[in-house]
A and B are shown apart, each in its own frame.
Chain A
Amino acid sequence: MTFEITQARLRAMLPAISLVAVLVPILFLQPATLSYFGSSLLLNLAVPIVLATLAQLAIITVNDLDLSIGPFVSLVACIGATLLVKQPWLGALALAGCVLAYATVGALIELRQIPSIVVTLGLAFVWSGLAIVLLPSPGGTSPEWLGTAMNYQTPWIAAPIVWSALIALIGHLLLMRSSAGVRIRGAGGNPRAMRRFGWSLVRSKATLYGIAGLFGVMSGLSLLGLTTSADANLALRYTLLSIAAVILGGGEFVGGRVSVVGAVLGAITLTLAASFLAFLNISSDWQVGMQGAILIVVLSLRVLLQRGDRQ
């Protein structure tokens, strides 16, 4: 079989292409980033963003949107910096409760047919409030084991790259390749058909929201491990960043079309884009603008490819 470059294939490769498009100028400007130490430094903050992106991806899979992931990640970091250090059992219990709360919210959204945007917008304030109650002013410490885990030196390739690849691989196997994952994605593609064949949408949604909660917890803990102290506003920007990364990675808001590998690449692209400007000696005030510009360019390309496909 020959490998032809169809537009559909090109579209699937778009996340990888956009990553290369950001990576190549960086390497050109600063070849040292290719080294073990350089890549580790550059991608240090990618791991929590990748995890938050996958949390968002789980929810976008069922055509919902999570506007509370940023505050949720902050809350997890605050729990980790306070409860988990002082009373490890209580801390672990609180984190498990967070995941359970996410799953319950998912079930509720399906049972009562309420828009997820409204629910998660409200929850964003709840998470933020709880985080402030736990940690009124920035501070706290990260549990020792967490710092050790995040600073673990992998051989040959820098740790953030290894972690990201591992997360992408596991997520891909679970959601994209396993039969259970396929059925869960089906709930996003054609919920009516799923119900008709006797599958419970409540269960699918609760599962996916629970998975989102789990990834949110992991994101918060990994972020805490890197920063070693927490703050109630630590990760507020993750909400929009995670949505952007999922969309950049080939996901769509409706129809259950998502790609785990693409989303991970999207998250890394956006992380790199933030550093990109620093190499050009441009003020970091433009970071967010740069991320937005990348998003617009990639989405425009995608629309163009789709149009070409149809003709």
Chain B
Amino acid sequence: MGEIKMKETSGQALIRFQGISKTFGRVRALTDIDFSFLQGECVGIAGHNGAGKSTLMAVLAGVFEPTQGEIEVDGTPSPRYDANAARHAGVRCVFQELSLCANLSIAENMCIVHPQLRGRGWRRLATALMREKLEEIFPGNRLNGTELVSDLTLTQRQMVEIARAFTVTDAPVRLVILDEPTSSLDAHTAEQLLAFVRKAAESGITCLLITHMLGEIQRVADRVMVMRDGGIVGVLGRDNLSREAIITAMGQHLEADKTTGAVRERVERAAGPQYHWMLGAGRRTKIEASRGEVIGFAGLAGQGQTEALLAIYEAATGRRAGRAKVAFVAGDRGRDGVFPVWSIAQNLDLRWLSGGSPTEKRRPGSGLVDFAAARAVVEAWRAKIGIRGASMNAGILSLSGGNQQKVLFARALASDADLILMDDPTRGVDVGTKRDIYQLVRDEAAKGRTFIWYTTENEELSHCDRTYVFRSASVTRVLHADECTEEALLAASFEEQAA
């Protein structure tokens, strides 16, 4: 595109947010957002995971109703702003996790966003509109509109989703939200999209671009909204737009208590690391760990950290070299962690059944569960993790989320495992429980256990001896405890490899 002319952003406010807040239960997802989306501008939106970007966009698309605040469309308040009102206002959204129906064809998917497509000839009209837009945004695509979406590749699906958002039937398109639109596009199609976004903005369509690729924002955005913890922490204009400026605005300036990690005494290590794995495509990602070490996995969410943990687990339980006694603490409790109909005790001693800690005596190989020993283990850990009040025979769901997570920790720690893998284990856990968990990790590491800890909360990395930062399923940086600052982490998280 070369040079982008700086437009006078004198366009009127298309949609204006005033004091928008959104809470889910007790979690505050958005706090007091004030922003005006002007006509024909391209707004980049940056922020860390969980900063509230996607929630804000869902409010704009009419999917969520704000808990507080007012939305104005063209200067008039719109009290009932739902999906239909958003469509009438000309707002379209390209959702991050795509909103295509895989069982329908490309043209049939048009039907879902355009209620006007009905009656005789709707199919022909839908196909024509879709192909026209696809050709305009992604010239040279080889889609004819009749393919089933489930037969398309991820890249093609993303192309269809984007093109669909720009199609017009009766209500004009005036604002398009693009949530991570390039995440599954290849370099060529991403280039085509960015060029089109620029063109669309010039022709008067407001484009919102949410992306972790700061380079893309830098190229096309007129303004950049930076979000953190559900609020807007800065709006950068075109003239002072740089990667560094965005990263600085995103970072938390006050460091979380780093003392805990720094003061921690290191266990004296024998020569060389004890564990090492080669992971990922081509086995190029190298992860090392030694006894008593706490290793952190960082980076943006979904950059392959969980997959790396699972690969390590597979290697550790496999038959070949790298075999180790291992336990896994799941982060998504509901899906991967608790057995919802079992009692607390049954949930706790599950991993112990296949191997308890070496200090306790067990009757070998009877094939039956030693209930007395199991009770003893459960009682010992109940005291250690401090679950009071509830009977251990009560169902696991009678505990609060934080206590459930503690039970999952106890499940892993009550075993004979030397290596504990943790998949973002403090997700949605309160501060008190977090502190207990940190203490447990420190104590057990001091006894010589090794922890590998994937976390999306950067403060937690201060408990780690070394941190591997992931980007696109490979490690971009390895940070030692003393160099693991918010800035370094953010810079490493957003490192874009030259393709």
Contact = CB atoms under 8 A, between A and B. Distances in A.
Contact of A190 (B101, B111, B117): B101
A296 interface: no
Nearest to B119: A179
B112 A197 contact: yes
Contacts of B83: 196-198
A198 B111 contact: no
Contacts of A192: 99
A189 to B, nearest CB: 3
B103 A189 contact: yes
Interface residues of A, number: 22
Contacts of B113: 197
Contacts of A197: 83, 87, 99, 112-113
B111 A182 contact: yes
Nearest to A183: B111
B315 interface: no
Given A183-B112, A196-B83, A190 B95 contact: no
A188 B101 CA distance: 8
A255 interface: yes
Contacts of B122: 179
Interface string B405-446: 000000000000000000000000000000000000000000
A249 to B, nearest CB: 15
Interface in B93-134: 93, 95, 99-104, 108-109, 111-113, 117-119, 122-123
Main secondary structure of the interface of A (DSSP, over half): helix
Given A179-B122, A183-B111, A186-B111, A196 B104 contact: no
Interface string B464-499: 000000000000000000000000000000000000
B62 interface: yes
A53 to B, nearest CB: 19
Contacts of A255: 102-103, 150
A126 interface: no
Interface string A136-180: 000000000000000000000000000000000000000001011
Contacts of B62: 198
A303 interface: no
B87 A185 contact: no
A192 B83 CA distance: 13
Interface string B78-93: 0000111001000001
Interface string A247-277: 0000000011110000000000000000000
Contacts of A193: 95, 99-101, 112
A179 B117 contact: yes
A197 B171 CA distance: 14
B118 A185 contact: no
A138 to B, nearest CB: 42
B461 interface: no
Q: Among A183, A194, A256, A257, which residue has the most Cβ atoms of chain B within 10 A?
A: A183
Contacts, number: 68
B61 interface: yes
B107 to A, nearest CB: 9
B99 A189 contact: no
Nearest to B122: A179
A179 B117 CA distance: 7
A177 B101 contact: no
A271 to B, nearest CB: 27
Contacts of B61: 196
A177 B119 CA distance: 11
B164 to A, nearest CB: 11
B101 A256 contact: yes
Given A193-B112, A197-B112, A179 B118 contact: yes
A257 B103 contact: yes
Nearest to A192: B99
A8 B150 CA distance: 11
A185 B103 contact: yes
Nearest to A252: B103
Contacts of B100: 190, 193
Interface string B277-303: 000000000000000000000000000
Nearest to A61: B103
A37 to B, nearest CB: 41
A253 B256 CA distance: 50
Given A180-B118, A196-B63, A189 B111 contact: no
Contacts of A180: 118
Interface in B179-202: none
A258 B101 CA distance: 13
Contacts of B244: none
Contacts of A258: 103
B151 interface: yes
A197 B92 CA distance: 10
Contact of B104 (A185, A198, A199): A185
Contacts of A199: 112
Nearest to A254: B103
A224 B102 CA distance: 40
Given A196-B61, A198-B82, A186 B151 contact: no
A251 to B, nearest CB: 10
A1 B318 CA distance: 51
A255 B150 CA distance: 10
A185 B101 contact: yes
B119 A190 contact: no
A180 B101 CA distance: 15
A256 B103 contact: yes
Given A196-B61, A196-B63, A188 B103 contact: yes
A182 B108 contact: yes
Given A179-B117, A197-B113, A186 B101 contact: yes
Nearest to A258: B103
Contact of A194 (B93, B112, B123): B112
Contacts of B84: 198
Contacts of A256: 101, 103
Nearest to A12: B148
Q: Among A8, A190, A199, A256, which residue has the most Cβ atoms of chain B within 10 A?
A: A190
Contacts of B82: 198
Nearest to B86: A198
- By Cβ-Cβ distance, the 7 closest A-B pairs, closest first, are A189-B101, A198-B83, A193-B99, A189-B103, A256-B103, A186-B101, A190-B101
Given A182-B111, A190-B100, A194-B112, 13 more contacts: A179-B119, A182-B108, A186-B104, A186-B109, A186-B111, A189-B101, A190-B101, A193-B95, A196-B61, A197-B83, A197-B112, A255-B102, A255-B103
Interface of A: 8, 177, 179-180, 182-183, 185-186, 188-190, 192-194, 196-199, 255-258
13 contacts: A179-B123, A182-B108, A185-B101, A186-B103, A186-B104, A189-B101, A190-B99, A190-B100, A193-B95, A196-B63, A196-B83, A196-B99, A198-B87
